[in-house]
Structure 1
Amino acid sequence: MSRVGRARALPGLALGLAAVLYSSWLIGPLLNPAFGLLDGYASELAARDQPYHLVFGLGDLVVGALASATGLALAWRARRWPRWAWWGLLAFGVATALDGTVSSMDCAPSADARCARLAELGALSWRDQWHSVSSSVAIAAALASLLALLMSRRDRRASFRWGLAVAAVLLVGTAGTLVELTHPDAALGAWQRVQLLGLSGWLLYAGGVVATQGDTGS
């Protein structure tokens, strides 16, 4: 592969790796048996009082670094709709890196009654309270990026249909998670995992767009 070919393939590979690492919640039950595959928030695995929290926090940090670096590199070269997609990727990366480090949760409210009570009283640290902000920014940035990608792929039917499928999963998961936040029950973890699958799908889709279009500014 030529140097030009490698340069074009690298962003796609970086986003593919980010998608895989963003699915680290799948190994959560193996490292932290207190959580089942669909229990509570995935972010609770990185809460600072949980075993192996550094593993999940590091995963978010690496995903954030990959997404930020790729988004920034592509945004400078892109035109029109793709540019907004890559700026959204950059914003997602920064917010996700913060999720796993500066704004990681203090404790896991779904597994710790005392933690849940402190959260209700607003008695947790500012870092924990900012976690909801950084997470919300990450989701909003991903949705904006995916919308921009869809706008840029309208004339490519197969790619556009795949993007719509990813958008459907992400939107359904996000809507379900928001409903569960207002009327919480045991389904919260399931809906959030659908949302996370949608986010990983978006990263893979973005990587595919970069790898197949050749000119990231089209």
Structure 2
Amino acid sequence: MTLASRRLCSVVAVVYSAWLVAPLLDPQLHPWTSYASEYFVADRPAATLLRTADGICGMLLIVIAVLSYARTRTLWRGLPGGLGGAAPAQRTERRGRVAVRVWSAALAVAGAATVVDAINPMTCAPSVSPECAAAEAAGTLPVQHEMHTVSSALAGTAFVLAMAASLALSTASDRVVRIASWAGIVTIALSGVDAVVTRIPTEGITQRVSMLAIVVWLVAVAGIPVVDRLGSRREPVAA
């Protein structure tokens, strides 16, 4: 991974963690039964801070995607082929390039969807507003509300693809990256299932766990050694 991308991943991880302070600013929303997205509703106390942080994260993710795509032919070139399996050199290199393209595209989509989330938040907080909950159940909320749901789901799906790509690009020695990637994939999937199965009112905690898993994954990815133009791996360079 390039040094610039590593540093940007670290910055995104820090800024993306802004939601962790939201309960202090908006204690009315219960962490078990409310979506973290409800903090972003325009009239909530933490909305401005979190929407700004999300917008910055989204744009930085797009920058990382562009940097990664620009280095498709050299990025992670020296790594063995995906998921720890052995493969001939030519096949390994081709597989690596495909994985980097998936990584770049997924991060770009995740970034764009995150920016949309910041610009287009939920219109109300159903967990603390009976009127909002009733309108949501009846499907009478503005299109903006539904668009936010779609963009959030798209961001989650894109993060899963990026995590899968990081698995393919990691080596057996990159255990932290592998563990963080699998943890992220599983928790995001559980959050999606929990959102669909409304009989289990724990969508708030599973969503927050998946968001925390994304932060941990970004930190882990930021620790992947720098790859130089010759495809050899170097130890991370101190900032």
Highest CA radius of gyration, 1 or 2? 2
TM-score normalised to structure 2 length? 0.79
For residues 12-62 of structure 1, the C-alpha deviation after alignment (integer angstroms, 9 at most, x for no partner) is 121111112212221011111112444411111001231231111111101
CA distance in 2, matches of 1:28, 1:86: 30
Equivalent position of 1:5 in the other structure: none
The CA distance in 1 between the partners of 2:145 and 2:212, in whole Å, is: 24
- The answer to which structure has the higher helix fraction is 1
**In structure 2, what residue type is equivalent to 1:24?**
A
Conserved 8 A contact 1:173-1:193: no
1:28 counterpart = 2:46: no
SS in 1 for 2:223: helix
Task: Name the counterpart of 2:207.
Answer: 192
Q: Which residue of 2 aligns with 1:148?
A: 165
Q: Which amino acid aligns with 1:100?
A: A
3-state SS of the aligned residue for 1:191? Answer: helix
2:32 counterpart of 1:19: no
Q: How far 1:217 sits from its partner (Å)?
A: 9.4
Aligned to 2:40: 46
**Cα offsets for 1:64-101 (capped at 9, x unmatched):** 01111111122121131223212211111111011111
Distance of 1:63 and 1:129 partners within structure 2:
22
Q: Which residue of 2 aligns with 1:3?
A: none
- In the TM superposition, what whole-angstrom CA distance separates every residue of 1:105-131 from its partner, at most 9, and x where no partner exists? 101111111111111122222111101
Give structure 1 stretches of 5+ with no counterpart: 1-7
Aligned residue in 2 for 1:133: 150
Matched residues, number: 205
1:167 lines up with 2:184 in the alignment: no
Q: Is the 8 A contact 2:163 2:182 kept in 1?
A: no
Q: Structure 1: which 4+ aligned runs deviate by more than 6 Å? A: none
Aligned: 1:85 with 2:103 = yes
Q: CA deviation at 1:147?
A: 1.0
Letter in 2 for 1:201: V
1:214 counterpart = 2:232: no
The percent of aligned pairs where both chains have the same amino acid is: 28
Give yes or no for contact 2:103–2:162 (8 Å, CA) kept in 1.
Answer: yes
Number of the residue aligned with 1:76: 70
**Alignment RMSD:** 2.0
SS in structure 2 of the partner of residue 176 of structure 1: helix
